[in-house]
Amino acid sequence: MLGRKKRSLSDFSSEIQSHIDLAADEFREEGLDDREAHYAALRQFGNVTSAKERFYEAGRWRWLDALRRDLRFAGRMMRKEPGSTMAILLTLALAVGVTTAIFSLVNALLFTNLPYRDPERLALLSGIGKTVSYGALESFKHQATMFEDVAAWTTTEANLLGAGEPIHSVVAQVTANFPSVMGAIPEAGRIREF
């Protein structure tokens, strides 16, 4: 079926005409004159122009015809206005470049795995605005057997004191097993769990 050659519109038109002629012959046999038989056959067949249009549209991909017309029109406009064409092409090139740069940055920051051991095995459970006691965390850890280990953290604000002016910063308070759950390896020394 894919390799079959499509019929041309002239073939389809001659087929329609042969149907009309056959119907007109039948009407002539019933006693109508040539002119009345021809018009009766046309009425029986229906709208010939509409049938030709349906045949034409069935053999075409309308979106492809529209695309071809649009591309030809765009080509004519580009040849007619070369200055505008260059401005449009430069704008498109700049937009593609900026989009690529922004996506590369976002991809590096948001879509790459975090530098933890087995990041696909980490799960985050959170309760917004809820404080969980250490006892509740231990109870959850023993009941939730689907997790290998459970660690917790919270953030708070603090002043960092040392030589010079105090520095106000956000600090994290973590459970003792947090570094081992995250697969953190110390730069120097060792992690000691209490």
- For helices 9-29 and 34-45, the axis angle rounded to 10 degrees is 130
| 20-29, 36-45, 97-106 — most confident range | 97-106
Q: Locate the domains of the chain by residue range.
A: 9-60, 63-111, 119-182
**Coil/strand/helix, residue 60:** coil
The contacts of residue 59 (CB under 8 Å, 6+ apart) are 6, 7
- Side-chain half-sphere exposure of 30, counting CA atoms within 13 A: 12
What single-letter DSSP state applies at residue 114? Answer: P
> Which residues have C-beta within 8 Å of that of residue 120, sequence separation ≥ 6?
113
Q: What is the pLDDT of residues 98-157, one digit of tens each?
A: 999 999 999 888 877 777 777 778 887 776 666 777 788 888 888 888 888 888 888 889
